[in-house]
Structure 1
Amino acid sequence: MADNQHLIGIDIGGTKCAVVLGKYNGEEINIINKITFPTQIAKGPEYILNEIKAAVHDLIKDISKSAIAGIGISCGGPLNSKTGTILSPPNLIGWDSIKVVELFEKEFGIKTYLQNDANACALAEWRFGAGRGLENVIFLTFGTGMGAGLILNGKLYSGTNDMAGEVGHIRMAGFGPVGYGKAGSFEGFCSGGGIRQLAITKALERLQMGELVSFCNNINDLESITAKTVSDAAFAGDELAKSIYEISGEYLGKGLAIMIDMLNPEAIIIGSIFTRSRDLLWPAAERVIKAESLSYSNAVCKILPAQLDEYIGDYAALAVALNN
C-alpha cells in the first residue's frame, strides 16, 4: 500500500458502532475523524448498515475515492472473511448471512475486507501496539468474552473457516462459571461475565452465613455485581474480592501455559480487563505459568498488556483495511 493513503475502519459491536477515517504514513495510522452511534439491534441489520453507510459518506465527502486504499470491517464472529459474510453473531441478533463486504463495495466502489474482532485487534496490536516488530504474537480479548487473534510467522492465522483462536471454548475445569456455552471454560473463568459469576457465587456463600460483603449489601443486590465493582473492592483491599481475581488469574495462567506450549509465541498481549486489573491477576497467573509451561518456551514469551487501550477498536478496523 502506498504511503499517505486514507483508510476507512468500521467497528460493528453489539452495543455501539464506530466509523473511523484514518491516514497511513508508512509507519503509523493517524485517526482523522470518527463517528459513533448505538447499535439499535431491535431495528434490524438493514437499519444499522444504512447508518454505517451514511457515516462513511459523511467522512469521505471531501476525499477522492482514489485516495482511499480500503475499508476494513471488524465484527464479532462467526463470520466468513473469504466471502465477506457475517454469520449470526450472538451479540447481533438477526444478522444472519449478511454479505457485508458485497454491500459496501457496491455502495462505495472501494475494496472492503472483513475480520472477526479478535483477529482485527491482533493485527492492530501487532502493527501499532505492544506486538510491533514481532513475528509470533497472540492477542487475547479478555473483555465481555475471551477470544484470541493469532499472528504466526508474521501473518494472521485464521484457520480453515475463520474459527482459529476460539480459546474461550477450551474447558479448563469440570465445573465452574459458564462462558461460551460451557461450564468451566476459559471464557467462564477469564471474562467480565465469568468474573461476575464467580463473585455472585462467593458473595452468596458469605451472605448466607451472615457475613458482610463490601461489594454487595444483601442477596437482593447480587445481580448488580460486575467485574468492575469487584475490582474496585479488590483495589480497596477487600480480601474476598482479591480472592475472586486470584481464581481468575490462576485459570488465566493455565490458559496462557497451554498457548505458550502449543504455539511458542514471542508475546501474548492481553486487552481490556487485564490492562485495568493486571496487578490483581498477574501474580497468580505468573505462578501457574512457571509451574505449567515448558521453561524454554516460557523464557522467550512476554506477557504484555495491550497498548492501544480504548482506541483498539478504531485501530483494529483500520488494520483490517491495511492488512490486505
Structure 2
Amino acid sequence: MNEATRAHATRGAGGADPAVLALDIGGTKLAVGVVTTDGRVHALTVEPTRRWEGPDAVIARLFDMGHRAVEAAGLDRPVSAVGISCGGPLDSATGVLISPPHLPGWLDVPLGEMTRTEFGVPAFLENDATAAALGEHRFGAARGTTTMIYLTISTGVGGGAVIGGSLHRGAAGNGGELGHVMVRPGGRTCSCGRRGCLEAYVSGTNIAARASEGIRAGRTTSLAAVDPLTAAEVAAAATAGDAYAREVWDETTDVLGQAVTDLVNVFEPDLVVLGGGVTRSGAMLLDPVAEAVARDAMPPAAKAARVVLAGLGDVVCVVGAGVVALDALTTEVEHA
C-alpha cells in the first residue's frame, strides 16, 4: 500500500487524516508525542524514566505526559489510537509487557489494556526496536528500501528488520532481538542471562561498565576522574587521545562490526541503519563498522549493503510507535 492509499484508508468520517499518540518507554527516558500521517511528531515531551520507581509510578507519569502532549499538539481532532514502543519480551497481541530486562520488576504488565482505559481509544504495543525499524523504513534513512536491518544501540541493544517490504515480527511477535546474538561465547554476562551477547559489549551501559572495570583494575586513564562514567565520556576521551579509552572504543566497534557483518551475510539487506544514543558519536562509530562490513561481508552482499545512521534521530521510537498505531488503524478499516 502506498502513502496516498494508506492515508486515504485511515481518513476519518470528517475527511481529516488521523493523529495518534505515541508512547516510548526506554530504560533511561520516556518520550511521548502526537504523530500524524506525514510522520511528523507534534508536542514531543521527554522525561527520565526513573525505572526504580516501579511500573505503577512510571506508567502514571507516562500517561500524564501523554495527556499533556495531546493538549499541547493543538490539533483540530482527537487522537484515534495510541501506539506504544517498549523493549521486550512482550506480547503485542494482548498488549502485555512480559519481562523487559531494561525495566526490572515489570512482570506481565497489561499495558495495552491500561492505555485503552486511560485514553479511551485502541492501543497497540510493539517492541521498540521493531517499531523503530518500521519508522526508519517509512519516514527515515531506509525509506524506499525493500530489505533493511535496524540496530538501536542505547541503554541496551535491540533490532528490527523489514524483509521484502514487510516488517518482520516473528512467530510470537518478538523477532529481531539482534542485541542477543552471540559475539563472545562465555564472555560478559548479558541482561538476558546469557554470556557473550552483543548487548553485553556495545550498549551504552556496557561500554561504560567495561571502561569502569579497567579503571578498577588499575588502568591509567583520564576516565578515572569522571563520575558518572558514560559511553559518551568514553568516546570523548578516545577522541582526545586517551589510550585506554581508545582501547575500549576499538573493542566496541570491532565487536559491532563483526555482528553487523554477520547480519549482512544472513539477510543481504539494502541498508543497515544504526540508531540509539551511542550513535551520537557519529563517524567514530559508523566508519569502522561500515569498513568491517565492506571488508568482511561475503560478496555480493558487501557491495549491496550500506551502513548508515538513523535519519529520525532521537524521535525514531516515537515515530515508530506512531506508525504502528496508524498501520493498525489502516488494517481495521480494510477489514471493516
Coarse TM-score class (shorter-chain normalised) = 0.7 to 0.9
Q: Which amino acid aligns with 1:213?
A: T
2: CA distance, partners of 1:269 / 1:288 = 15
2: CA distance, partners of 1:195 / 1:78 = 23
2: CA distance, partners of 1:272 / 1:111 = 28
1:4 to 2:17 alignment: yes
2: CA distance, partners of 1:107 / 1:250 = 45
Change (3 A) 1:175 1:88: closer
Number of the residue aligned with 2:310:
306
TM-aligned CA deviation for residue 126 of structure 1? 1.2
Name which of structure 1's ranges 231-240 and 288-297 shifts more when overlaid on structure 2: 288-297
2: CA distance, partners of 1:37 / 1:281 = 26
1:29 to 2:39 alignment: yes
TM-aligned CA deviation for residue 232 of structure 1? 0.8
Matches within 5 A, 1:6-155: 6-24=19-37, 28-41=38-51, 43-60=53-70, 67-155=78-166
Q: Which amino acid aligns with 1:308?
A: L
Residue aligned with 1:225, SS = coil
1:215 to 210, 214, 223: 223
Deviation string 1:151-174 (CA, Å, 9 cap, x unpaired) is 111121111112311122222123
Change (3 A) 1:274 1:193: closer
Contact 1:206 1:213 in 2 (8 A): no
Q: Which amino acid aligns with 2:322?
A: L
Deviation string 1:4-54 (CA, Å, 9 cap, x unpaired) is 321111112334333312322xxx223222344443545543343344444
Name which of structure 1's ranges 261-270 and 186-195 shifts more when overlaid on structure 2: 186-195
Name which of structure 1's ranges 278-287 and 150-159 shifts more when overlaid on structure 2: 278-287
Change (3 A) 1:283 1:64: closer
Change (3 A) 1:286 1:60: closer
Residue aligned with 2:43, SS = strand
2:210 to 178, 198, 214: 198
Change (3 A) 1:69 1:185: same
- Where structure 2 has 5 or more consecutive residues not aligned to the other structure, the ranges are 1-9, 329-336
Q: Which amino acid aligns with 2:18?
A: Q
Residue aligned with 2:209, SS = helix
Number of the residue aligned with 2:3:
none
1: CA distance, partners of 2:42 / 2:175 = 33
Residue aligned with 1:83, SS = coil
Give the length in aligned residue pairs. 312
TM-aligned CA deviation for residue 307 of structure 1? 1.6
Q: Which amino acid aligns with 1:154?
A: G
Change (3 A) 1:237 1:266: same
TM-score by length of 2: 0.82
1: CA distance, partners of 2:235 / 2:69 = 38
Matches within 5 A, 1:173-192: 173-180=184-191, 181-192=193-204
Change (3 A) 1:54 1:226: closer
TM-score by length of 1: 0.85
Q: Which amino acid aligns with 2:35?
A: G
Number of the residue aligned with 1:229:
233
Contact 2:127 2:174 in 1 (8 A): no
Contact 1:246 1:281 in 2 (8 A): no
TM-aligned CA deviation for residue 286 of structure 1? 3.8
1:240 to 2:251 alignment: no
1: CA distance, partners of 2:217 / 2:118 = 56
2: CA distance, partners of 1:204 / 1:94 = 29
1:255 to 2:255 alignment: no
TM-aligned CA deviation for residue 303 of structure 1? 0.3
Contact 1:9 1:21 in 2 (8 A): yes
- Where structure 1 has 5 or more consecutive residues not aligned to the other structure, the ranges are none
2: CA distance, partners of 1:284 / 1:32 = 35
Change (3 A) 1:90 1:4: same
2: CA distance, partners of 1:56 / 1:216 = 40
Contact 1:71 1:111 in 2 (8 A): yes
